[in-house]
Amino acid sequence: MDIFSKIKEKLSHEFIDIIEWLDYTDDTIAHRFERYQNEIKNGAKLIVREGQTAVFVNEGQLADVFEPGTYDLTTKNLPILATLKGWKYGFNSPFKAEVYFVNTHLFTDEKWGTKSPITLSDDRFGLVEIRAFGTYAFKIADAGKFIIDIVGTDNNFTNFEINEHLKSLIATRFTDTVGEANLPIELYAANTSELSETCQEVMQPEFLTVGISLEKFYIENVSMPEDLKKEIFEYSRIDKLDLDKLTKFKTAKAIEAAAQNEGGTAGAGMGMGMGFVLAQQMGGMMGATSQTNVQGTQQMGAVPPPMPVSVQYFYAVNGSQQGPVSFEQLQSLFANRTINRDSLVWKQGMANWSALKDVEELKSFLGGNTPPPLPNN
């Protein structure tokens, strides 16, 4: 071997690179391996550790992607790059390529939340506003696509840089998902697990378009205004209670409050109205007792009169027919403002629907100081 061959062999060994990246941070997603003028010597050694992927980029084009392992960089294991460069006889001189190491481990406990309230339409409460927040976890599923579409020429890309984009995407898709779910408003907070799984399925395809996999998605809390919470709790309690018992209880409480408010005209009017209803109920009970006593004095073979039939009412809410309900139940619906004086009602014997205020026996709901006319003798 002549002296020039020895020098050439010696220099070739001295110029062999070791291309590797040791990550000492928890937030770096992609790191560009820096070389002078991006030159890599023929036969350089590439070391890709577990949890990493190496991506070679040539003049903005994806060249090669290497999974964990150790590689000698020659035309044998760089077929795409060799094709892009058009080398037919191997790398006899340094070649230029950008090398990016991509961190493929799981990035956990990333925060998301709705910056503005989400407006939903509920059948019972109308337009309502909710907020939500939680956490998510992601990892890089396609390192090549991620480098080309997201990282670009950034030499040190962190999860902070991608999080703002991901959080905006999550908030948008979350809003669409809860809007299409069309659940009763109180069920959003009670079904966070099912809603989380649905949101993850909806968002996953869009994450994958940029090489990211959404591994976990959690909704930790769905919040709403305090006044809406109180209405929901009150509605749920009324829905579980016996409406007849609730009506009697509220009537007694109203009479008590009216008695304490001696100077209040409105309170007195309400007390009189509620008292009139209670008097009707008590009068009915006393009448039934008296009728029973009279029947007891009749002969054993006498036929008793037919049992009274409870009147059933239908009512309309938001253009929808509801019922039937009893007089007491209808009174309770009026007391908790499910219906009002102008709500349409109907019972058997009425030719058409009428406003509650125009039905004689229901006028007692409205209160008032004028008693009904005396019956004719």
**All residues at 6 or more sequence positions from 82 whose CB lies less than 8 Å from its CB, including other chains:** 75
pLDDT tens digits, 6-42: 444 444 444 557 889 988 788 899 999 887 666 777 7
pLDDT given at position 344: 93
Label residue 195 left, alpha or beta by phi (over 0 means left) and psi (-120 to 50 means alpha). alpha
Q: 223 versus 302: which is more confidently predicted?
A: 223
Range from 50-64, 72-86, 208-222, 363-377 carrying the lowest mean pLDDT: 72-86
Does the pLDDT value for residue 350 go beyond 60? yes
pLDDT tens digits, 118-128: 888 877 777 88
| 288: its two tokens | 């039934």
The percentage of residues in the chain with a pLDDT greater than 90, rounded to a whole number, is 21
Extract the runs of DSSP E, i.e. beta strands, from 141-206.
156-158
- What domains lie within the chain, and their CATH numbers? 3-103 (no CATH), 107-225 (3.30.479.30), 241-282+311-366 (no CATH)
> Cα separation of 94 and 98, whole Å?
13
pLDDT band at 141 (very low <50, low <70, confident <90, very high): very high
pLDDT tens digits, 163-204: 888 988 898 888 888 878 777 777 777 778 888 898 999 999
- Phi, psi angles (nearest 5°) of residue 353: -70, 140
Does the pLDDT value for residue 111 go beyond 80? yes
pLDDT given at position 297: 46
pLDDT given at position 313: 92
Residue by residue, DSSP assigns 226-241 as HHHHHHHHHHHHHHHS
Does the pLDDT value for residue 105 go beyond 60? yes
